[in-house]
Structure 1
Amino acid sequence: MTRLHTRNVNVGYGDKTIVKNLQVEIPDKQITTIIGSNGCGKSTLLKAMTRIIQHQSGSIILDGESITKQNTKELAKKLAILPQNPESASGLTVGELVSYGRFPYQKGFGRLTIRDLEVVEWALDVTGIHEFKYESVDALSGGQRQRVWIAMSLAQETEMIFLDEPTTYLDMAHQLEVLELLKKLNREEGRTIVMVLHDLNQAARFADHIVAMKRGEIIKSGSCEEVIQRDVLRQVFHIDALIGRDPRTNKPVCLTYDLWKGEEETNEKIIYNPAAFASAYT
């Protein structure tokens, strides 16, 4: 099932077109990751699908209607976005920032209702940050702050959450912490997750669906097995990758890679020993 899709979409800045004639479908209640080299249009596509920026031509359809025709507050009840560099929350407590997610539901003077407060409490609980409710956002670690921004997105009560490189600037443990949280939200809450990731192995491990982009166009979209392929990665990243299987998840994993130098294909087979690879993790 697909609630969100694009048709022949072009997006750019000024006279420069970044995303070209794009057609993409976002599977409902699944995790989709968008991969590609820097400047290929990943973030631009994310911003266009969430109406942060306008598309130049084509159509972006959500629930059978163009997003350009939908009321802003109503659209904010359907989807939330966490940008790559969220605006500063200086001076705010965790609880105050998370409560900002209730903006689409507020009327009049914008006072929080009992329902709003209940949702904020739930968002703090599900993201594991309730203990920081009265602490300054500035005083938290990078991973904790990222959880706060995700909690704010959850407080919007949207069924779709978009994240632009949610693991940027985080160490390995905090990256895993954030991605595990998103997976939990997808599996237990049924949220549709769409995120831009740079790490191929993280993309393959956590995604149900992958969109691979290059120069504003989609090179390949589909399951992890269909996209994390040697020929696809060669086109998208200009690398010659050795693909194996993660012994813990059985998902495709990029074991190593070299820059692709454009040599002719050979019939040489690379032997991959799963047992040897697995021994490195035991």
Structure 2
Amino acid sequence: MVRLYTDELNIGYGERLIVKNLSVSFPDQKITTIIGANGCGKSTLLKAATRIISHQSGSILLDGELISKENTKVLARKMAILPQSPESANGLTVGELVSYGRFPYQTGFGRLSKKDYEVIDWALEVTGTSEFKYRPVDALSGGQRQRVWIAMALAQETDIIFLDEPTTYLDMAHQLEVLELLQKLNLEQGRTIVMVLHDLNQAARFADYIIALKDGEVVKAGNCEEVISHGVLKQVFQIDAEIGRDPRTGKPMCCTYNLIKGD
């Protein structure tokens, strides 16, 4: 089942096209990972799909409707995004930050309702951040902060969550912690997760569906067996990769690689 897809999408800045004639689908209730070299259009695609930026032509459809014509609050109840570098939360407590996720549901003077407080507490509990509720966000570790930002996205109560490089600046343990949390949200709550990752082995391990981009175009889209291959990685990253098997998951993994140098 597919609720969200793009059709012949073109996105650019000025006269320079970053994403070109792109038609991709994001499977519902699955984890989709977008991979590709820096500047290939991964983050641009996420921003356009969540209407942070506009697109030049083509269309992005959710539940059969153009997102460009959707009411902002209605759209914010369907999808949430965690950007690559979330804005500073200096001076805010964890509970205050997570409460911002309730904005799409607020009316009048924007006061939080009993339901809002219940959802905030639920989001904190699910992400394992309840103990930090009254602590300043900027007093937390990188992994803790990232979980708090995810809690804010969860408080939005959306079916679809976009994350742009959610493991950036985190050490190996915290990267795994965040990815396992997202996997849990997908498996236990049926959340559709769409994220950009740089680590190919993390993409293979956690994604149900992978979209490989190069210069704003799809090179290959499919499951990890189809995308994490010598030929696809050669075309996307210009590397000569040795593909093996993850001894714990049995999924393909990039064991080592060399750069393919030009003439």
Q: Same fold (TM over 0.5)?
A: yes
Alignment partner, residue 45 of structure 1? 45
Moved over 4 A (4+): none
Post-superposition shift, 1:261? 3.5
Give the Cα separation in 2 of the matches to 1:108 and 1:183: 36
Q: Which residue of 2 aligns with 1:125?
A: 125
Q: TM-score of the superposition, structure 1-length normalised?
A: 0.92
Partner of 2:67: 67
After superposition, what is the alpha-carbon deviation per residue over 1:110-154, rounded to whole angstroms, capped at 9, x for unaligned? 000000000000000000000000000000000000000000000
Q: TM-score, normalization: structure 2?
A: 0.99
Distance in structure 2 (CA, Å) of the matches to 1:187 and 1:154: 15
Match of 2:240 in 1: 240
Instruction: Give the whole-Å Cα distance in 1 for the aligned partners of 2:124 and 2:259.
Output: 44
Q: Describe how 1:26-37 pairs up with structure 2 within 5 A.
A: 26-37=26-37
Aligned-partner SS, 1:248: coil
Distance 1:165 1:102 in 2: 23
The DSSP-based 3-state class of the residue aligned with 1:68 is: helix
Q: Alpha-carbon deviation of 1:232?
A: 0.3
Please tell me whether residue 224 in structure 1 is matched to residue 224 in structure 2.
yes
2:25 is matched with 25
In structure 2, C-alpha distance between the alignment counterparts of 1:142 and 1:262, rounded to whole Å: 39
| Distance across 1 between alignment mates of 2:252 and 2:122 | 35
% of aligned pairs identical? Answer: 76
Q: Distance in 2 between matches of 1:170 and 1:65?
A: 37
Query: Where does residue 202 of structure 1 map in the other structure?
Result: 202
Correspondence for 2:58: 58
The answer to whether 1:149 aligns with 2:149 is: yes
Cα distance in 1 for residues equivalent to 2:23 and 2:108: 40
Residue 156 of structure 1: CA displacement? 0.2
Aligned residues: CA RMSD: 0.8
Letter in 1 for 2:106: Q
CA offsets 1:180-213 (integer angstroms, 9 cap, x no match): 0000000001000000000000000000000000
In structure 1, what is the equivalent of residue 252 of structure 2?
252
C-alpha distance in 2 between matches for 1:240 and 1:16: 30
* Unaligned stretches of 5+ residues in structure 2: none
Q: CA deviation at 1:262?
A: 6.2
- The whole-number CA distance in structure 1 between the counterparts of 2:202 and 2:89 is 28
Q: Which residue of 2 aligns with 1:266?
A: none
Cross-structure match for 1:139: 139
Q: Hey, what's the Cα distance between the residues in 2 that align with 1:192 and 1:22?
A: 20
> What residue identity is the alignment partner of 1:175?
Q
Structure 1 stretches of 5 or more lacking a match? 264-282
